[in-house]
Amino acid sequence: MLSDEEIQRDLEKLRDIVVKHKAPGAPLAIHSEVIDGQEFEVFSNAPTNLSGLYDLAQQEADKTFFVYLEERHTFQEVYSMARRLARVLIERYKMKRSDRIAICARNSPEWCLAYMAVTLLGAVVVPMNSWWRGAELEYGLQDSGSKLIFVDQARFQHVAPYLAEQDIEIVMIRPESETGFSEFYSLLDRVDPLSDEEIEQLGVGPEDNASIMYTSGSTGKPKGVLSTHRNIINALYTWKFVREINEILRPELVEENPKYQPAILANVPLFHVTGSHAQFLASFISPRKFVMMYKWDPEKALELIEKERISVFHGVPTMTWEIMQSPKFSSTDLSSLRGVQSGGAPRPPEHLTMILQKFPEVAIPGLGYGLTETNAIGAIISGGFYQAKPHSTGRPSPPVTSMRIIDENNNELPNGKRGEICIKGPTIMKGYWNQPEATAEVIKDGWFHTGDIGLLDGLGFLIILDRAKDIVIRGGENIGCAEVEYAITEHPAVSEVSVYGIPDDRLGEIPCASVMVKGSQILNDEELKKFLSSKIADFKIPERFYFQYEQLPRIASGKIAKKEIRQRVIDQLFTS
């Protein structure tokens, strides 16, 4: 394990590498640019839009890109299908720039092709949470103003009762029965792909809107995070930059002639920023095979790692934990792995210890910190730094991202002082869709106020301590406590409720609720969970309920004492 002196030495070496790697004239050079009145450092040689990103992979046109069940498609085939679908959207459905187009489906090639086609023509893609129920799906469609939805059979069953009230076109992904709507691949028959000239004429620019991704926050309904083409591409190029400087710092880890094609296991839902950005879109920059799982299963994941020679295993910490616990782990050939990375939630230090013991030495562990609002960029850590700082989520991701810790009066705090984490850079969202006031609350002078509480240690490594926002992060998914509380209080037997998270070894946190029941009425877990199942996604439903007939405790202002209630429950569970 590195000492502080060794870390300091490597950091100085790293700083020199970063300066040279971002210098004018370098492939990953940066320059200053004013965007919406704020000055940012941006990548000088990055594509101006996502169409340019998709072009990058054509250097590997004949190599395998998508793998899904028994299906395989090359980079060339994928790009051709996406261009054909873009023509269908323009000519058949009359979609145009800035129109919103939703995708609601499990991971599949169609999901990815739809994302590519929508962004090719300059429309705005709306990846919807495939775990949402009907009312949540209705909200997402209405809030985004989507004019078309790509939807699979399972999600169609949930949203169908609401479609009569929506002025929306429907394209079915892998329908299992006749629905009366167009089937995805049938639309591509005898359609020519958009030409380079036609795509150029669409004139999609870096500041054009590209996506609206919904995230749960501390109040009410999920908010739509609006990002531009520049936001997304600068996030992708940040990961490329980090990988390249790590390879310069650790040349012994670079394979000159890799035995296998680089490959990543797509094990995170594509509606999540980790799945769409860090896994899917990042596979265009340094072309790699994208192996999609229909749904998460640790035994199947191990099978695919061996069969497809996966080089990067990347997901929420729960997934790494589950494959290490699998009885098939020790008998699986993991020799192709070069990285065991995580994002979306904190990784307990004991997980890192187990990774170092169980995975091949060349499978370097890593951890990232970011939010949907930052397009997953914030801080990153790997290798020796991570082993020496297992409680940290790393240093601010170079070279275009800045980070600071502030107090309640917006004053920047020195290293070692606890405060709110703020992030600045070209990856920060344009704003919350149709919510200028909510946007103004979190973006101030170009800085995004995360709502997370932490500090930068003496060497500049970020340590996350708490959250200012009232959310629970369950296995990488944000759950807004207020949204769940609103749903619970709709039950006629509920007087008041407080929802909070408690620690969980597998998922990081699980949602729980303390409920005051009205008068002489009777309520139990089973009844309340059944009531909630039609209102909110299953993962949002509290796993434990604590019922009482007296009022929940208050703080001096009269608000429910949520922290006190949460601590009382934790004490009962973990000290009994």
Domain limits of the chain? Answer: 72-226, 471-575
User: What is the rounded radius of gyration, in angstroms, for the C-alpha atoms of the chain?
Assistant: 24
Rounded-to-integer distance, Cα 1 and Cα 11, Å: 15
Rounded-to-integer distance, Cα 512 and Cα 566, Å: 9
Rounded-to-integer distance, Cα 125 and Cα 98, Å: 9
Peptide bond into 399 cis (omega under 30): yes
Tell me the per-residue pLDDT of 11-43, one tens digit each, with 9 for 90 and over: 999 999 999 999 999 999 999 999 999 999 999
Rounded-to-integer distance, Cα 426 and Cα 294, Å: 33
Angle at 465 between CA 461 and CA 471, to 5 degrees: 125
CATH code, 471-575: 3.30.300.30
> What's the burial of 542, exposed, middle or buried (CB within 10 Å: 0-12/13-18/19+)?
buried
Strand order of the β-sheet with 312-315 is 71-74, 64-68, 289-292, 263-266, 312-315, 339-342, 364-369, 379-382, 395-396
Which amino acid makes up residue 454?
G
User: Phi then psi for 289, rounded to 5 degrees?
Assistant: -75, 135
Rounded-to-integer distance, Cα 391 and Cα 517, Å: 40
- Tell me, what's the pLDDT at 204? 97
Residues of the chain whose pLDDT is less than 50? none
Question: How are beta strands 30-35 and 38-43 bridged, if at all?
Answer: antiparallel
Rounded-to-integer distance, Cα 238 and Cα 245, Å: 11
CATH code, 72-226: 3.40.50.980
C-beta contacts of 533-537 below 8 A and 24+ residues apart: 533/133, 534/133, 534/134, 534/135, 535/133, 535/135, 535/487, 535/490, 536/133, 536/136, 536/483, 536/484, 536/487, 537/129, 537/131, 537/132, 537/133, 537/136
Question: 516 pairs with which residues across the strands?
Answer: 496, 548
- Tell me, what's the pLDDT at 23? 97
